[in-house]
Amino acid sequence: MQQNNLCDIFVDDSMTIFSFAQERLRRRHNLGLAVAGAIGMVLASSWAWALQVSGLESPHSFLADPPSKSYFISNINGETNARDNNGFITKLSDDGRITAFKFIEGGRGDVTLHAPKGMTIVDHVLYVTDVDTLRAFDKNTGKPVAALVLPRPADSKTTQSLVDVAADGKGHLYLADQGGNAIYRVDLTTPLTLSLYVSGAHLAGPSGVAVHPKTGHIVVVSYDSGKIFDITPEGALTELASNGFFTGRFQNLSGVDFDRWGSMYVADATKGKIWRMLPNNKFQVIAEYLPGPSDLGID
């Protein structure tokens, strides 16, 4: 069965725009627009659709870039960690029109891009995680400007898989290596420098990373255990949320982001839900019955 994919964008009652990539089993080749009739009327079991982008190929992440009034979607286009050099980045205008379906494409010119996943932008540079490499592209032209490869693991059985990246606004990026159970920190100097930030089996497949807008702490979600971790800039780690003995709230968390008010949002790929955690640590479901939400982004 051939999988096809969508990127869905909707608004909730806090007037926040969300997007998340999700897999579908039917091939579509159109850009579907569905403008919400009543923006702000989103409840736990329903939401207002603002935009649906279809015809993508295994989309993983969605990223807004307000300065350029653009959106970017990473397309794995194949197996999750295949080194097939056919991954690509789709670029959209702020009204949802695809301006360049393959704005950046592996195998075209001097671009190498296997299975792009997480993305972030610092100044004019678009950073993309790609298997074991952090790749940097000019966000305006799509031209490659740098690449930083992870050091080879000591254990040959370890499969490195960079799935997300977040910027702290202080000259650093944080990379989530799901396969290697590690978080790396990148110093955005010239040249880029990499250091191991946190690692260990307790991370249980870190699949999403974000920076808390209020505390500056690094927040990481686990795919294998459904846990959410809070990490200080110094590397001290605590559990922010996890499943209790009688509650199985989360199963396989696959993405995390924050809104400007400090509320956190996480995507559960297996349960098909988007959760919001308010600053008072209360959780609520804002979307459900989603077929495989991957990463998510908040504009």
pLDDT number for residue 2: 39
Segment 265-283, tens digit of pLDDT: 999 989 988 999 998 888 9
pLDDT number for residue 29: 27
pLDDT number for residue 292: 80
* Single-letter amino acid, residue 238: T
Domains delineated in the chain: 57-298 (2.120.10.30)
pLDDT number for residue 3: 46
Residues of the chain with pLDDT under 50: 1-4, 11-17, 23-48
Do residues 202 and 227 touch, judged by C-beta distance below 8 A? no
Residue 94, helix vs strand vs coil? coil
pLDDT number for residue 132: 97
What pTM was estimated for this model as a whole?
Answer: 0.86
pLDDT number for residue 246: 53
Buried b (16+ CB within 10 A) or exposed e, 240-264: bbeeeeeeeebbbbbbbbbbeeebb
Average pLDDT, the chain: 83
